[in-house]
């Protein structure tokens, strides 16, 4: 059974990204947020990163709370989390 993801931060990670492949950390344990560093395997979280392919350069708001309904992108859920 998968663990509940750790809230990495209560705001999105807004980044200017280049075209390419990215792996968004779904477990919240990565030391390289918002990207996966393999912590999910080491800690046996039962969660896997989400692979994203960007075709063009653009600003991306990656979910930091790991609770978005539109993972891996921020949908504002962090604003509704209990303190």
**CA–CA separation, 4 and 18 (whole Å):** 30
Q: Which of 40, 66, 68, 36 is nearest to 52 (CA)?
A: 36
What is the Cα–Cα distance from 72 to 49, expressed in whole angstroms?
Answer: 9
Predicted pLDDT at 3: 86
Residue-wise pLDDT tens for the chain (83 aa)?
678 999 999 999 999 999 999 999 999 999 999 999 999 999 999 999 999 999 999 999 999 999 999 999 999 999 999 88
């Amino acid at each position: 059974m998968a663990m509940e993801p750790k809230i990495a931060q209560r705001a999105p990670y807004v980044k200017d990204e280049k075209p390419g492949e990215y792996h968004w950390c779904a477990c919240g344990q990565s030391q390289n947020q918002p990207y996966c560093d393999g912590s999910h395997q080491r800690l046996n979280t039962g969660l896997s990163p989400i692979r994203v392919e960007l075709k063009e350069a653009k600003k991306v708001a990656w979910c930091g709370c790991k609770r978005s309904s539109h993972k891996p992108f921020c949908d504002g859920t962090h604003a509704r989390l209990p303190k």
